[in-house]
Amino acid sequence: MKERTNKKGKFGDIKKQENIAGYLFASPWILGILIFATFPMIASLFITFTKYDMISNPIWVGLANYKNLFFHDSIFWKSLWNTIYHVLISVPLGIVAGVILALLLNTEVKGMSLYRTLFYLPNVVSIVAMSLLWLWLFQPNLGIINEILAPLYKLFKMEPLRWYADAKTSKMTLIVMGLWTAGGSMVIYLAQMQDIPKSLYESADVDGAGWLTKTFKITIPLMTPSIFFNFVMGLIGGFQVFTLAYIMTSGGPNRSTYYYSYYLFDKMMTDRNMGEASAMAWVLLLIVLVITVLALRLNKYVFYLGEED
Amino acid sequence: MKKILSILMVLAAIVGLVACDKDGKDGRTEITFWHMFPVGSVPYAKVKKVVDNYNNSQEEYKVKATGFGFWDYWDKIDIAISSRTTPDLGLNTIDNVKYRANGKVLYNISELIEADKTDNNIDLSEFRDAHLENAKFEGELFAMPYSATTRVLYYNLDLFEEVGLTEADVPKTWSELKTIAKMFDKEKGGKIERLGFDPTYGQATYHGWLWQTGEDFFDENLNVTLNTQTHKDVLQWMIDFNKEYSVTQLSTFGESNQLLGTGPFASQRVAMIIEVDDLYINLEDAGATFRYGVAPIPVPDENGVRVNWGSGFSIEMYDNGKKNDEKKAGAYDFLKYLMSYETQQELSKATGWLMSHISAMKDLVKDDPIKKKLLEEVGYSVERRYVPYAPQWTAGDWQPFYTRATERQDSVEKVLADARAFYQEKKDNYERTNK
C-alpha cells in the first residue's frame, strides 16, 4: 500500500514538474499575447466608448461612436458593402481557382515540381510590388491587358474596359488580381489530394469511372476539409482586404474600392478619430465572428477520411 | 568576491547608462532633432554640417539629428507624438499646429521668446505674419515657420517662342490663360501630343482656384459652403478648360505623362503648369535643356485675388511630459540657432528649400531671378485652414468628388451637393462626440 502511494506521489511530482516546464516554455508566448494582444484589445474596447484624437486624453462618450457609425455615417455602410461584395465573390472564386490549379498540378507531367513552384511563387512576392505590376498590366490606356483584348473590343464594337479606373469594374479587377495568389491555397489542396488512397481510384477504374466522375465523386469530396479550411480563412482574410486598394486605387474611383479596413485606417490616420476607428474594429470582429460561426455549421458537409459515416 | 564584483559591474553599467542618457559621452545635454533628409540623400551631409556647426559653437548641448525619408517621416512623427516619444525638435505641417497645441504636446514658444533676454533671441519681425498666425493657438506661438512653400505658374519659354510669344505674353488672368494655352495644343491621330495648360495638372487644386475668387470650402465658423454659384463656376471652368478633348484622350495623355516619370512640364508636353518651388530644384538637378520662367498664378478676370496655396513646414519643440528643463532650454537654444539669419541661409543652400526668414531669403536669392520670383509669391501664399472634423479636407475627403467632376461623370451641381452633404455629415458626427 505504502509503495503504491509513493509511486503515485512520484508520478504526481513528475506531472507537476512537467506542467511547470510546459508553462515556462509557453510563458514567452503567454506574456507576449497578454502584453501585445490582450491589453491592446481591451484598451481598444475602452477607446470605442471615448472621443480620442491620439494626442489628448480619451473622453468618455458612451455609445456615441457606435451610433455615429450605424445611423449617421453613409461611408461606413458603403465600405461595408464593398467588403461584403469582395468576400462574396473573391472567396468562392479563390477556392475554385485553387482547386483547379491543384487538379492540374496533380497530374503526372514532366517538370511538375517546376510548375508547382511557379504557381506558388506569387505568394512570396511582396504585395506592394505585385500591386504595382498589376497596376501597369491593367492600365486602361497603355496596359498590356487592353492591348491583348483590343481585337475583341473591335469585334464587339465596345469601348476598352477601364478596369480599376471605372467604378463599375474596379472591384472585380481587384478580385481577379487577388487570384494571382491562388497558388497558396493550391499547395494545401495538393497536399490533401496526395493523401487520397490510390485504392479508391483503382476501384473506380474497375467500375469504369472516368476522370470527371473520379474528380467529383472521390477527389473533391475528400478535399472538403481543406476546402472548408480555405473557405473559413478566406472569409476572415476577405473582410480585412486593404493593401490592394490602398496601393492601386486609393479606394476609388468614387469610393468603389473603399473597403472597410481602408475606412478604418483613414478614420484613425487622417481623421484622428481613434474612438470610431476602434469601434469599427470591434464591429468587424463581431461580423467576422458571426460569419465564421455560421460557416463552421457547414462542417457537417465536410468528409473526413477515416471518420465513421 | 565574485558577487561583489558582479554588483560593482552592474552598478557601473547603470551609472554609465544613466550618464549616457542624460548628458551624452561628453557630459553635454543631448537634444534630438528629426528632419526629412535621410542618410544617402544629397542634402543629408549639408544638414549634418549645419548641426555640427551648432555642436561645435558651444559646449552645453549636443544635437543628435536624424533624417527620415519624406513619406516615412510622417508616420514616425505621428506615432511618436501619440506615444510621447518625440524628439526634442522636429518638423511638421504648419497648417495643423493647432491640433498638436490643443493636445498639449508642444511647448509654448511665445513664453520662451518672452523669457529670453539674450541678444540672439528669435526676431519675430523677420517672419511673415500669415505664417506666424498659422503657428499660433489661442494667440500664442506653439511652433515656428520653418520652410516657405509656394505655388506658381511655370512656363516654357522655348515653346512660347515656337508659337510666336514672348515672356511679356505670360497670362495674368484666367481668360488670357485659356487663350494662350490653346496656342500650344497639338493632337495627332486622336491622341493629344501637347497641351498648353490643364488646371487639374501638377499642383493646381480646386481649393487653390477657389481661393482666387475669395471663396473657400468653409466659412469662418467652419460650416461647409460649396453651394454658391462661384463654387460651381470655378469647378466648371476647370472641367471645361480642355473640353474639346474627351475624358479618354485627356486621361491617356495624363497617364503617358506618368509613364515618362519626369512630369509633363519637364518633358515639354505641357507649356505651362502650376507647381511648387521644388520643381525649380528638380529642373535644375535634371539639367533642363529648355528655357523657362515662373510667374504668379493667373487670377480670375474680375476681382481676382492673388493667392496661392503654401503648405510649408513648421518646426516644433515637443513636450513629452518628462519635465526636463535642461532639454527644453537646449531645444530652444537650437531652435534660435535654426531660426537665425545665417542658419536659415545655410539650410536653404543645403536643401534648396525657401526658408521662412524674410531677410535671409531676400539676400540669398537676390541674384537668382527665378528664386526671387518664387520668394515674392511666398508673400501671397496661404495655408489650408485646420478643420478638426475633416483634417484632410483637400485630400482623401475631396478626391472622390473631384474625380467624378473632372471625369465628367456627374454635373458640378450634383458633385458639389454630394460633397457638401459629405462634409456636413462629418461635421455633425464630430459635433456629436465633441459637445
Q: Are B172 and B141 in contact (CB under 8 A)?
A: no
- Give Cα B133 distance to the centre of its chain: 16
Gap from B406 CA to chain A (nearest CA, Å): 12
Phi-psi region of B317 (alpha: psi -120 to 50; beta: other; left: phi over 0): beta
**Read out DSSP for A23-61?**
HHHHHHHHHHHIIIIIHHHHHHHHHTTEE--SSSPPEE-
pLDDT at B19 over 50: no
pLDDT at A304 over 90: no
With CB atoms and an 8 Å threshold, state whether A142 touches B256. Answer: yes
pLDDT at B17 over 70: no
- Which is nearest to B169 in space by CA: B150, B156, B151? B156
Please write the tens of the pLDDT for every residue from B58-96: 999 999 999 999 989 998 999 999 999 999 999 999 999
- How far is the first Cα of chain B from the last one, in angstroms, to the nearest whole number? 66
- Which is nearest to A267 in space by CA: B429, B91, B99? B429
Grid cell 476501384 in the structure block, residue: A203
Please write the tens of the pLDDT for every residue from B360-376: 999 999 999 999 999 99
Long-range contacts of A79-84 (CB under 8 A, 24+ apart): A79/A255, A79/A258, A79/A259, A79/A260, A79/A262, A79/A263, A80/A260, A82/A171, A82/A255, A82/A256, A82/A257, A82/A258, A82/A259, A82/A260, A83/A238, A83/A239, A83/A241, A83/A259, A83/A260, A83/A261
- Given pLDDT bands bounded at 50, 70 and 90, which one contains residue A113? confident
> Mean per-residue pLDDT for B45-62?
95
User: Does A74 contact chain B (CB < 8 Å)?
Assistant: yes
With CB atoms and an 8 Å threshold, state whether A271 touches B425. Answer: no
Long-range contacts of B421-425 (CB under 8 A, 24+ apart): B422/A74, B422/A75, B422/B397, B423/B217, B423/B218, B423/B224, B423/B226, B423/B389, B423/B390, B423/B393, B423/B397, B424/B224, B425/A72, B425/A73, B425/A74
pLDDT at A309 over 70: no
Q: Which residues of chain B neighbour A68 with C-beta distances below 8 Å?
A: 429, 432-433
Gap from B200 CA to chain A (nearest CA, Å): 17
For CA atoms B336, B341, B343, B347, the dihedral sign is: positive
Contacts of B33 (CB under 8 A, 6+ apart): B51, B63, B64, B65, B66, B87, B88, B89, B90, B334
pLDDT at B9 over 90: no
* ipTM (interface predicted TM): 0.84
Please write the tens of the pLDDT for every residue from B213-271: 999 999 999 999 998 999 999 999 999 999 999 988 898 888 777 777 778 999 999 99
**How far is residue B195's CA from residue B404's CA, in Å, rounded to a whole number?**
22
**How far is residue A117's CA from residue A5's CA, in Å, rounded to a whole number?**
59
Please write the tens of the pLDDT for every residue from B318-363: 998 888 899 999 999 999 999 999 999 999 999 999 999 999 999 9
Query: Residue A249 carries which DSSP code?
Result: I
Gap from A74 CA to chain B (nearest CA, Å): 8
Q: Across chain A, what does the average pLDDT equal?
A: 90
pLDDT at A96 over 60: yes
**How far is residue A196's CA from residue A303's CA, in Å, rounded to a whole number?**
12
**How far is residue B356's CA from residue B123's CA, in Å, rounded to a whole number?**
12
With CB atoms and an 8 Å threshold, state whether B403 touches A275. Answer: no
Phi-psi region of A90 (alpha: psi -120 to 50; beta: other; left: phi over 0): alpha
- Given pLDDT bands bounded at 50, 70 and 90, which one contains residue A308? low
> Mean per-residue pLDDT for B109-129?
94
User: Which parts of B157-215 are beta strand (E)?
Assistant: 186-188, 191-194
How far from A140 is each of A134, A161, B245, B330, CA to CA, in Å?
11, 7, 17, 55
Please write the tens of the pLDDT for every residue from A241-266: 999 899 889 998 989 999 999 999 99
| Grid cell at residue A246 | 490602398
| Residue A106: predicted pLDDT | 85
- Among all residues of chain A, which has the CA nearest to that of B404? A254
With CB atoms and an 8 Å threshold, state whether A141 touches B433. Answer: no
* Burial class of residue B358 in the structure, from the number of CB atoms within 10 Å of its CB (0-12 exposed, 13-18 middle, 19+ buried): buried
Please write the tens of the pLDDT for every residue from A50-69: 999 988 889 999 999 999 99
With CB atoms and an 8 Å threshold, state whether A54 touches B433. Answer: no
| Residue B152: predicted pLDDT | 97
Contacts of B368 (CB under 8 A, 6+ apart): none
Q: Are B296 and B306 in contact (CB under 8 A)?
A: yes
- Give Cα A284 distance to the centre of its chain: 14
- Which is nearest to A48 in space by CA: A286, A262, A295? A286
Looking at residue B70, its amino acid is F
Gap from B429 CA to chain A (nearest CA, Å): 6
- Among all residues of chain A, which has the CA nearest to that of B435? A61
| Residue B2: predicted pLDDT | 57
> Mean per-residue pLDDT for B14-31?
64
- Given pLDDT bands bounded at 50, 70 and 90, which one contains residue A13? confident
With CB atoms and an 8 Å threshold, state whether A141 touches B103. Answer: no
Gap from A41 CA to chain B (nearest CA, Å): 17
User: Does A269 contact chain B (CB < 8 Å)?
Assistant: yes
Beta-sheet pairing, B140-141 with B136-137: antiparallel
Half-sphere exposure of B119 (CA within 13 A, CB side): 0
Of the two residues B13 and B325, the one the predictor is more confident about is: B325
Is-above-0.90 flag for pTM?
no
| Residue A1: predicted pLDDT | 44
With CB atoms and an 8 Å threshold, state whether B105 touches A270. Answer: no
User: Does B82 contact chain A (CB < 8 Å)?
Assistant: yes
Query: Residue B270 carries which DSSP code?
Result: B
3-state secondary structure of B350: helix
User: Does A147 contact chain B (CB < 8 Å)?
Assistant: no
Q: Across chain B, what does the average pLDDT equal?
A: 91
Residues of B (123-152) whose Cβ lies below 8 Å from A: none
How many contacts does A have with B, using Cβ atoms within 8 A?
82
Please write the tens of the pLDDT for every residue from A140-174: 888 899 999 999 999 999 988 999 989 999 999 99
Residues in chain A: 309
| Residue A239: predicted pLDDT | 95
Q: What are phi and psi of A207, to 5 degrees?
A: -80, 0
- Among all residues of chain A, which has the CA nearest to that of B252? A141
Q: Are B265 and B204 in contact (CB under 8 A)?
A: no
Please write the tens of the pLDDT for every residue from B134-189: 999 999 999 999 999 999 999 999 999 999 999 999 999 999 999 999 999 999 98
> Mean per-residue pLDDT for A83-105?
94
Looking at residue B123, its amino acid is D
Long-range contacts of B323-330 (CB under 8 A, 24+ apart): B326/B29, B327/B29, B327/B30, B327/B31, B327/B88, B328/B88, B328/B107, B330/B29, B330/B31, B330/B60, B330/B61, B330/B88
| Residue A252: predicted pLDDT | 84
Angle between helices B325-339 and B42-57 (to 10 degrees): 120
Q: Are B148 and B354 in contact (CB under 8 A)?
A: yes
| Residue B288: predicted pLDDT | 86
Q: Which residues of chain A neighbour B74 with C-beta distances below 8 Å?
A: none
With CB atoms and an 8 Å threshold, state whether B255 touches A275. Answer: no
User: Does B190 contact chain A (CB < 8 Å)?
Assistant: no
Query: Residue B353 carries which DSSP code?
Result: P
Of the two residues B6 and B219, the one the predictor is more confident about is: B219
Q: Which residues of chain A neighbour B105 with C-beta distances below 8 Å?
A: 55
Q: What are phi and psi of A14, to 5 degrees?
A: -60, -45
Phi-psi region of B3 (alpha: psi -120 to 50; beta: other; left: phi over 0): alpha
pLDDT at B35 over 80: yes
| Grid cell at residue B252 | 491617356
3-state secondary structure of B35: strand
* Burial class of residue B151 in the structure, from the number of CB atoms within 10 Å of its CB (0-12 exposed, 13-18 middle, 19+ buried): buried
Calculate what percentage of chain B has a pLDDT beyond 90.
81
**How far is residue B256's CA from residue A140's CA, in Å, rounded to a whole number?**
11
Rounded to a whole number, what is the largest CA-CA distance in chain B?
94
**How far is residue B34's CA from residue B21's CA, in Å, rounded to a whole number?**
18
**How far is residue B146's CA from residue B35's CA, in Å, rounded to a whole number?**
11
User: Does A44 contact chain B (CB < 8 Å)?
Assistant: no
| Residue B11: predicted pLDDT | 59
- Given pLDDT bands bounded at 50, 70 and 90, which one contains residue A86? very high
Please write the tens of the pLDDT for every residue from A267-287: 999 999 999 999 999 999 999
Beta-sheet pairing, B381-382 with B308-309: parallel
- Given pLDDT bands bounded at 50, 70 and 90, which one contains residue B3? low
